[in-house]
Amino acid sequence: MSGHVHLIDSTLSLLAHGYAWAPDLRRAHDGAPLVHTRLMGRHAVLLHGPDAVALFYDEGRIQRHDALPPQVVDTLFGRGAVHTLDGARHRGRKQMLVSQLMAPDGIGGLTARVENGWREAAAGWEDRSVVLFDEVAALLAGAVCDWAGLPVPDDAAREIAEDCVAMVDGFATAGPRHVRARRARQRQEQGLMAAVDRIRAEAEREDRRPAASGTVAQTVALHREADGTLLVPHTAAVELLNIIRPTVAVTWYVTFAAHALHRHPAQRDHLRTDGPGYALAFAQEVRRFYPFVPFIGGLAAQDLSYAGDRIPAGTLVLLDVYGQHHDPELWERPYHFDPARFLGHEPGRGELIPQGGGDARTGHRCPGEDITLALLGTLSPALARLDLAVPQQDLSIPLSRIPTRPRSGFVMGVESRPERHHGRQMVGGGRR
């Protein structure tokens, strides 16, 4: 395609339409797999479909360095984060993170902490109203910090949760939300830099290198790049925060799971009785059905050709995520919530991409995806087992807002069961 200078800039349309922007743009171009546009004055192409996923996650053709707008880096990922690297530097840093995040024992340790925290928290929700989003965020923040080797008291966990939520909530906007996100990141990076300094001072006193069984915090603080140098303290703090923040972000999915259970009560019985296989299918469908990531961006590393069209080097390349997850050519009844679509079906790398495509161990797919599935597959049945009292509230999910969630945050309470109280028995079991 030539004459890109005449393309209409879509920035205002994106800000106005949010998740619907990419599907609407493709619809206006008869569902083309590649659409040319402009964002913030820059030539961009929107790609769609599994073949586009394969192209997007080819490091030789699409790069991440300089692809993300500064306002996104400064709020969501942090300067020098693994998300912004390419080539050998990316692979080395990624391996360090993967060694911790994707280890089965590591995931199990985090999940166990979350399960214990959930039981304690749920006992305090009886006969009162709480905002599920806020409670889950605090629970996940405390659990992931403890798992990472950075235990914090409950009040600090809630503050960390609020800052992590602010970072995610403010990355795609301007104004007060963006200012809060920047301040939140600065606070958390400063605290983690101090933790990195403490870990390194302790290691120096003991004259040792990190043990294979060291904590996540030790692994990151004592990690050496390919040239043998330690990460600068700020970068180490950024990478620690890129473990804590995404774990807290699972809060969005847990709240969506509660929304799905409220809208589709029959799912509660399936989660209670059908075992881990159904819980995993439910988790996958929550990640497909509900809006979280609208699209992902990179830069064309060279002149490319796709779908019979030309993509000049340096073009901003956007991979449509929300639109792909709701494409009727890829999913039967895409706007129908149906976990059964994933029973006995493991989605391919280019099919379900809420946390990216490709190989999580070597590419840019999120290494925390297995953690997300484990936590969501654990907390969704836990939600289903509670006798929830859900008052009247605004549970709408505005697609114009990125990131979005139920407006109310999902206000709920837990109805007390007589058999839970000391000295009382209930014949015939509890209420379902």
Segment 192-225, tens digit of pLDDT: 999 999 999 998 887 655 544 588 899 899 988 8
pLDDT at 378 over 90: yes
pLDDT at 353 over 90: yes
State the sign of the Cα–Cα–Cα–Cα dihedral 231, 233, 235, 241. Answer: positive
Among candidate residues 205, 229, 288, 258, the one with its CA nearest the CA of residue 384? 258
Q: Decide: 330 and 324 in contact? Cβ < 8 Å.
A: yes
Among candidate residues 317, 27, 21, the one with its CA nearest the CA of residue 172? 21
Q: With 0-12 CB in 10 A as exposed, 13-18 as middle and 19+ as buried, what is 50? A: middle
pLDDT at 53 over 90: yes
pLDDT tens by residue, 295-351: 999 999 999 999 999 999 999 999 999 999 999 999 999 999 999 999 988 888 889
Helix/strand/coil for 202: helix
Q: Decide: 372 and 144 in contact? Cβ < 8 Å.
A: no
Q: What integer pLDDT is reported at residue 422 of this predicted model? A: 45
pLDDT at 430 over 60: no
CATH architecture of residue range(s) 4-420: Orthogonal Bundle (1.10)
Q: What percent of the chain has pLDDT over 90?
A: 67
Residue 251 CA to residue 158 CA, distance in Å, equals 13
Domain residues of the chain, as ranges?
A: 4-420
Among candidate residues 87, 101, 40, the one with its CA nearest the CA of residue 68? 40
Q: What integer pLDDT is reported at residue 3 of this predicted model? A: 43
Q: Decide: 372 and 352 in contact? Cβ < 8 Å.
A: no
Q: Which residues contact 58 (CB under 8 A, 6 or more apart)?
A: none
Residue 351 CA to residue 431 CA, distance in Å, equals 40
The residue among 82 and 269 whose pLDDT is bigger is: 269
